[in-house]
Amino acid sequence: KAGVTQTPRYLIKTRGQQVTLSCSPISGHRSVSWYQQTPGQGLQFLFEYFSETQRNKGNFPGRFSGRQFSNSRSEMNVSTLELGDSALYLCASSLGGESYEQYFGPGTRLTVT
């Protein structure tokens, strides 16, 4: 079974621009979560989508948004990029429901200049 895939793997953007990252979960997984990893803050939860609905949200500004499609694929969008948004963005999928285990993709490395 294929793992979680994320595209693109690397991205360089300029401050003020917006960016869209994509995630394809493991087949059969209905829950997709997004995390941000930075050296200073570690791994922080952004949001989770289940059956096309945002079910959980972390403490990030409204510039960070996401959505999930009927095939469980998910996208996250960051608008008006700031230098501090430079990070590794990780997507994780799980069966949802009673299952806690999440399986991570390789991440998208975003650099904002």
Partner 1 sequence: DQQVKQNSPSLSVQEGRISILNCDYTNSMFDYFLWYKKYPAEGPTFLISISSIKDKNEDGRFTVFLNKSAKHLSLHIVPSQPGDSAVYFCAASRGGRGAQKLVFGQGTRLTINP
Give the shortest CB-45-to-partner 1 separation in angstroms.
5
Cα 88 to Cα 31: distance, rounded to the nearest angstrom: 20
The nearer residue to partner 1, 38 or 80, going by C-beta atoms, is 38
Instruction: Residue 32: name the closest of 99, 83, 96 by CA.
Output: 96
Q: Which two tokens stand for residue 50?
A: 């289940």
Residues in Cβ contact with 41 at an 8 Å cutoff, skipping those fewer than 6 apart:
none
The residues that touch partner 1, with contacts defined as CB under 8 A, are 4, 31, 33, 35, 42-45, 48, 50, 55-56, 58, 90, 92, 94, 96, 98-107
The nearer residue to partner 1, 23 or 78, going by C-beta atoms, is 23
Supply φ then ψ for residue 112, to 5 degrees.
-110, 125
Give the shortest CB-84-to-partner 1 separation in angstroms.
18
The nearer residue to partner 1, 1 or 14, going by C-beta atoms, is 1
